[in-house]
Amino acid sequence: MIFDRDQMRMVLAIVVVAVLAAGILGVTNILTREPIARAQKEALHKALAQVLPQHANDAQADSFNVDAVAIYPAKDGLGNVRGFAWEVVAPDGYSGSIRILVGLEPEGAIHAIRVTDHRETPGLGDGIVKNSDWLQNFSGRVLEGSNWKVKKDGGDFDQFTGATITPRAVVKAVKGALAFYNSQRQVILNAVEQQNRGKHASEHEMKLEMKID
Amino acid sequence: MTKSEVFYDGFWHNNTIFAQLLGMCPLLGVTTSAENGFWMGVATMLVLLGSNLVVSLVRDVIPKNVRIPAYITIIAAFVTVVGMAMNAWMHEMYLVLGLFIPLIVVNCAILGRAEAFASKNSVSDSVVDALAVSAGFTFALILLGGVRELLGQGELFGFSLFGESYPDVLMFILPPGAFIALGFILAGVNLINRKLKQRADAAAQAVAAVEAGS
């Protein structure tokens, strides 16, 4: 197939524009990759500090997976477990999914929760972010003993004026997190213990190596 | 056209929102607060500056029949760059606006400026046009966002103005409130334009009368 001159010019123009655009995007991607990762880590760090009980470790560095869920453990200076946090997704928000970071104490009571991402209506559904009393109401609750529904459905949690779907979705997702902990508790605790043992072991090895030197 | 005429035309006379009613999707979508409107305007300004500049630079090189795909590729590249930069250095705002940033690509106001202005004018005029059009667009976004935030939540740029007792008019935060507020703003703009025209006509008549009298 042979192009005439005009067709060659058209093809050339598009190819040059596309290659230049791709080049610029590639460079931008390289330049922003690190800062984006840092910003995301920073955001998660802030959220974790708010939902986890006081801890001495870097919860992100110590995170491990249980059943494809990334668990962030809180430990004191001696490695004793102080709590856990992980993110749950409420798929049934008013507009799209709501991501919630749930922080638990080892006994299975909620320490605090925090919404990390949502598209709910400002002024209505976004009470799940702004209404601190409502968020406070979750603290200390365990799976049994609370009615995990909004008041409109006969439960223990307030809905907001003009917004029922959003809090309903959050309450359901948090209940799911507690149920997950109840069923996976032993697995999670074992994983932390293993992690601590691994750390001790590597410290031990280091000492041995030093002796050999 | 002189530079100031280009600016006046882009900012007010042919304002993207007030006169052309283009770019409604980001306008109605993000203007639940003045701050959101401001940052959406800034993002649009960066994209428009880039696209007008490049389109004007390559206007004699790109064959006419493939210009639209070429322009869209240029615009999409700038939008992606702005999106990535926002994600990296303004992470919190990116989380709020994230959904609407990629949609700047299909903001017809931007392709419209590339096609109607940058592809026919010099680089410097195109840059002035980009600044004017996006300043006008940003002004409209802040105005609508401010009205909706003020009526809907009693706040402006996040500062409470009327105190705790203000009953939030939630409708203005919801999509119907955007349409209603925009309607009133457009009516106000038309009123101002009519006043401006009357004054110009009166001035012209006065001049004509003086000339006829002398």
ipTM above 0.90, yes or no: no
Q: By mean pLDDT, which of A31-40, A116-125, A162-171, B116-125 is the weakest?
A: A116-125
Q: Give me the residue spans of the domains in chain A.
A: 52-209
Residues of chain B under the 70 pLDDT cut:
214
For A53-110, what is each residue's pLDDT tens digit?
Answer: 888 888 888 888 888 888 898 888 887 888 899 999 999 988 889 999 999 998 888 9
- Helix ranges, A3-101 (H): 5-51
The whole-angstrom separation of Cα A92 and Cα A170 is 9
Q: Token pair 């949502």 is at which residue?
A: A118
A:B CB pairs within 8 Å:
73
**What does the block give as tokens for A199?**
């750390």
Cβ–Cβ of A123/B168 closer than 8 Å? yes
Look at residue A200 in the predicted model and tell me its pLDDT. Answer: 63
CB contact under 8 A, A42 and B152: no
Chain B positions touching A124 (Cβ under 8 A) are 170, 173-174
**What is the residue whose two structure tokens read 């966002």?**
B145
Q: How far is B34 from chain A (nearest CA, A)?
A: 13
- Residues B119, B101: Cα–Cα separation, whole Å: 24
Task: Name which of A9, A19, A28, A33 to mutate to probe chain B: the one with the most chain B Cβ atoms within 10 A of its Cβ.
Answer: A28
Mutate to test the interface with B, among A5, A12, A17 (most CBs of B within 10 A): A17
Q: In this predicted structure, what is the pLDDT of residue A1?
A: 63
10 Å CB burial of residue B211 (0-12, 13-18, 19+) is exposed
Phi, psi of A114 (to 5 degrees): -155, 130
Going by DSSP bridges, is the β-strand pair A110-117/A96-104 parallel, antiparallel, or unpaired?
antiparallel
Contact A10 B76 (CB under 8 A): no
Is residue B79 within 8 A of residue B110, CB to CB? The reply is: no
Looking at B107-174, list the stretches that DSSP marks H as alpha helix, in order from N- to C-terminal side: 108-113, 123-153
pLDDT digits (tens, 9 = 90+) for A1-39: 677 888 888 999 999 999 999 999 999 999 999 999 999
CA A180 to CA A195: how far, in whole Å? Answer: 21
pLDDT at B72: 93
Report the chain A residue with the minimal C-alpha distance to residue B80: A25
CA A1 to each of CA A5, A7, A12, B105: distance values in angstroms, whole numbers, following the listed order: 13, 12, 16, 34
* pLDDT confidence band for A160 (50 / 70 / 90): confident
Q: The dihedral of CA A94, B92, A69, A197: what is its sign?
A: negative
